[in-house]
Structures are given as C-alpha cells and as structure tokens.
Structure 1
Amino acid sequence: MLIVPGLIREWTAEAIFEENDDIRSLPQLVLDAVYRCPIDTRRKLLDSIILVGGTTRMKGFYARLRDEILHLLTAPAYAQKLGNIKSVKFYRLPNTSIELYASWIGGSMFGALDVLQYHSMTRQDWKAQGKVPDWTSNVYEMNRDPARSR
C-alpha cells in the first residue's frame, strides 16, 4: 500500500491554485476562457461549470475553486472584464463515477465525428502557424462553403 503524506497531497493541490510568472492558476484560466466567450453567455457559463477528472474529486476542490473564482471576480482586472457577475455554480453529473471518464467520453464522441478533419491540425501545420486556429470561425466558414459542409 502506498501512503502519501497529507503535506504532499496539499502541495499538489496548491499547484493548481497558485499563479506565478510562468503559469496561471486554474481559477484564472476559467475566467480567461469565459471572458473570451460572447458577452451574453458569460454569466450562464459561470453558473454551469462542469468539472471532470480525478483531481476534481479531492475533498474541498469545488468549494476552493468557487471561492477563488469569486475572489478573482472582485479584482479590478476581472471586475472590469466580466462586469458584476457574482455567482459561480457547478453542474454535477448524475453519477460521480462519470466525472472520472467524462472527458474521455467527450473526446471519444468528438473523435468519431466526420467534422474532426476540420478541427485538426498536423504537426507541420502547427510548426508553420505556431498557434491553433479559432475553430469557431472555421465552423462559420464551413457553413458558408458547401464543399466543406456535410
């Protein structure tokens, strides 16, 4: 049996919530992603966050993430960007074991779609462009081009 001291488990969790010069914290990443969405969807997104994966099952993870996001929403940078959003809610999947596999299931379903070829890039494309395209604009372009839509 492997016994992991509590201090090690705490340090592991803290890495998710602490920012430094090299990385942003998970709460910052959530708010940055929401800010990049259309303004009329932001409040709804923050009221329906789905967390998946084993890390999210750590005791107190939901409460800590909610508290950190709410705290950041009062910071001038995010208050200016996101207005007066004051709530954060999580959508809980009906079965807690699904939380462990939901991201894999979603990826598996997406991988089985014909549209995958329009939302993929090769290593050569990545090296040439240096960034991932805005897939939302590709959906728009795909709908305009009958040859690309199926």
Structure 2
Amino acid sequence: MLIRTEAPADILTIDRLVRETFETEAEAKLVISLRENSHLTLSLVACSDEGEVIGHCLFSPVTLDGEDFNWQGLAPLCVKKEYQKQGIAQTLVKEGLETLAELGYPVSVVLGDPAYYQRFGFESAKTYNMNCKWEVPEEAFMIKACSPEFLEGKAGLIEYCPEFDLL
C-alpha cells in the first residue's frame, strides 16, 4: 500500500469513493466544496499495490474564536468497503498528522469516535475549554497538539470552514 497526496487525476476517483463509503452525498459535496474554495490543506489517498485508490483522508483549516493559528480539522476519512478493518484508515491518519506537523500545522481536531481517535493521541477538547459550535457529545470533539505549548493559554470555540455548515 502507498500513501500519497492526491493528484488531479485522483479527484473523480476520490469523489466516487466518498459517495460509495458514506450513506449520503453530503461528505462528497463537502470535499468538492473544500477543494473548489481552496480550503483543502492536505488530502491523502491510500493506493493498493495495483494503484487503485482505496482510501482518502482530508484536513482543512479551523479557527479558534475566529483566529487562524494554522490548526487543522480532520474530515472526512474513508476507506473502500472491501478494504476496511485492515489498518488503512489508521495509516492515513498517522501519515496525515505527521505530514501536518512537518509542514508547521501544530494542532488538529476531529469529531468522531473517541475509542478510535484516542489511539492517535487525540483527547477531549473540553479538557482545554474548547468546543465546536455543533451540539455533539462532549467526548466526540477531540484535539491533538504536536506539543502542549501550542494549547497553552488557548480556549474557546473551534470552527471548521463554512462548507461544513452545509452538512
């Protein structure tokens, strides 16, 4: 398996993958909107040994109380159904977090299953007096910093790009 950044030739394949993986077309429309509005910071694909795109992971900017600190939100993450439960999503997330750190993006947030995302070092954002604007279970909105200093003195409302409001 190969993990790499998306290429222009991958766009239609990613769109099909996202549409096939999620129950509605909302996530596929989100990916298209983020790309069209230049709100896509990092988009990774997982490819099989034959070159088929079998997974996708996207990161886009988030703000804290309206300020841009170069923080990123992870969403969506998907793997082709027949390749699920093989560690592909885990590899995509790890590679994405490492790449973001190397590029100078110090903090990532995610809205998802705590049991899954805690393995990557995500913890409840509420621990740092941070929350998202949507009504979600407190433990489902999580944050991960490259180093604790990036969270020192910070608290407030974390907001994703406006495209997420259309979900």
TM-score, scaled relative to structure 2: 0.28
Structure 1 or 2: more strand by fraction: 2
**Greater gyration radius:** 1
TM-score, scaled relative to structure 1: 0.30
